[in-house]
Structure 1
Amino acid sequence: MAHIHLGEGSFPLWALALWTVLGAGLLAVVTYRIRKGGIKTNQIALAGIGAAASFAVFQLNLPIWGGIHMNLTGLVGILAGPLLGALIALVVNVFSAALGHGAVGLLGANVIVNASEAIVAYYAFRTLLRMDWDVFPASASAATIGLSVGAILMGAIIVISGVNGSALPRSDLTIAVAGMVGINLGVAIIEGVLTGFIVQFLASVRPDLVPGASREKRETSTGVGA
């Protein structure tokens, strides 16, 4: 949902280098964890479907305050997990940049933003399920939390980096970015509710696709009802 839509050359060189290194570092950790733990065949298929759905929705842009859209990263994180969710964020951003939706130089920053959404949504969802939340409120809340973290992180990256050629002093830039973040937070709630309905539906017809969604498995794993 959050995405830095600035053009090439908008960030100073030091900021591009910083976010690129941090993004590459995050992906390196993710790749190492995947190689060490392996991937199940069904996870690969699910990741492909998630990437396609996220990319398709990601291209539907509303020209409001620099661009507002959904990208289903919260849903991707919940279903595919934090590791594959981060890689899906990379794939979606690479293909989007190739189509002119986001600068190539901002890939590192945008991967950090979108990967954080998937990672936070996954862990928030699992935590809420362990607290015995039902699937719908848990997934809706988790996606909203993840997307909100991404929106705030997006704003922080822009403010920290500054924008080349902008006549706004840093204080005014912060106010403008805060307004954009606020709009994204509102959209996060909408996308969170949508995610909740999708996850609830999948849990009812294919609970194997939603990790931890089966109440029976949760009770068994925690010793409840034994």
Structure 2
Amino acid sequence: MAHIHLGEGSFPLWALVLWTLLGVGLISAVVYRVRKGGIKTHQIALAGIGAAASFAIFQLNIPVWGGIHMNLTGLVGILAGPLLGALIALVVNIFSAALGHGAVGLLGANTLVNASEAIVAYYAFKTLMGMDWDVFPASASAATLGLSAGAFLMGAIIVISGVNGSALPRGDLTVAVAGLVGLNLGVAVIEGLLTGFIVQFLASVRPDLVGLTDRDTREETTGVTA
């Protein structure tokens, strides 16, 4: 959901290098984990569908405060997992930048932002389900948490980096970015609710897609029989 909508050259060179190196480091770690541990077949299919859906909705930009939008990264993380979720974030940002939606030089920063959304959403969902939450509140809350984490990370990256050519002092820039983060937090709640409905529906027809098979089996084996 969060995305840095700034043009080429907006960040100083040191910031571009820093966020690019961190992004490369994250993706390298993800690729290593994927190659070492492998991925399940159904996750590959979900990743393809998730990438297409995320890219499509990512292009629907609301022209408010530089642009805000949904991108379903929380849903992608919950369904495809943190590793594929991070790779999908990279792919979506690459194709979006190719269409002029985001600067090529900010691929590292934006990948960090969107990958964090998928990763946090996945682990939050697993944690809440482990606490026996129902599917809807667990998925909605997890997606909202993930998207909120991405919004805060986006704001931190902009404030830390500064913006070339901006006449705003760092304090005023922080206030302006805080407003943008606030808008993204509002959208995070809406997207979180949408994610909750989607995951709840999937859980009702294909619980294995959201990793609920083990939970259902555990509930059956621990049930009281006559």
Given the two structures, how large is their TM-score scaled by the length of structure 1?
0.96
Q: Which residue of 2 aligns with 1:7?
A: 7
User: In the aligned structure 2, how far is the partner of 1:218 from the partner of 1:15?
Assistant: 49
Name the aligned partner's letter for residue 104 of structure 2: V
Check whether the contact 1:137–1:196 (CA below 8 A) recurs between aligned residues: yes
1:87-122 residue CA offsets vs partner (Å, 9 max, x unmatched): 000000000000000000000000000000000000
Match of 1:40 in 2: 40
Q: Distance in 2 between matches of 1:51 and 1:13?
A: 30
Tell me what 1:129 maps to. 129
| Contact 1:74 1:147 (8 Å CA) reproduced | yes
Name the counterpart of 1:204. 204
- 1:39 Cα deviation from its structure 2 partner: 1.6
Percent identity for Structure 1 against Structure 2: 83
The alignment of Structure 1 onto Structure 2 pairs a total of residues equal to: 224
Secondary structure of the residue aligned to 1:121 is helix
Correspondence for 2:68: 68
CA distance in 2, matches of 1:116, 1:182: 18
1:122-172 CA distance string (max 9 Å, x none): 000000000000000000000000000000000000000000000000000
Cα deviation for residue 211 of structure 1 reads 1.5
Alignment partner of 1:196: what SS? helix
Q: Residue 141 of structure 2 corresponds to which residue in structure 1? A: 141
SS at match of 2:159: helix
Q: CA deviation at 1:214?
A: 6.1
Aligned-residue offset at 1:224: 4.5
Superposition pairs for residues 166-177 of structure 1, below 5 Å?
166-177=166-177
Question: Letter of the aligned partner of 1:211 in structure 2?
Answer: G
Q: Which letter does structure 1 place at the counterpart of 2:81?
A: G
8 A Cα contact 2:203 2:212, kept in partner: no
RMSD of the alignment, in Å? 1.3
1:5-55 deviation line (CA, Å, top 9, x unaligned): 000000000000000000000000000000001122221111000000000
Does the Cα contact within 8 Å between 1:203 and 1:209 map onto a contact in 2? yes
Aligned residue number for residue 21 of structure 1: 21
TM norm structure 2: 0.96
- Post-superposition offset of 1:225: 4.1
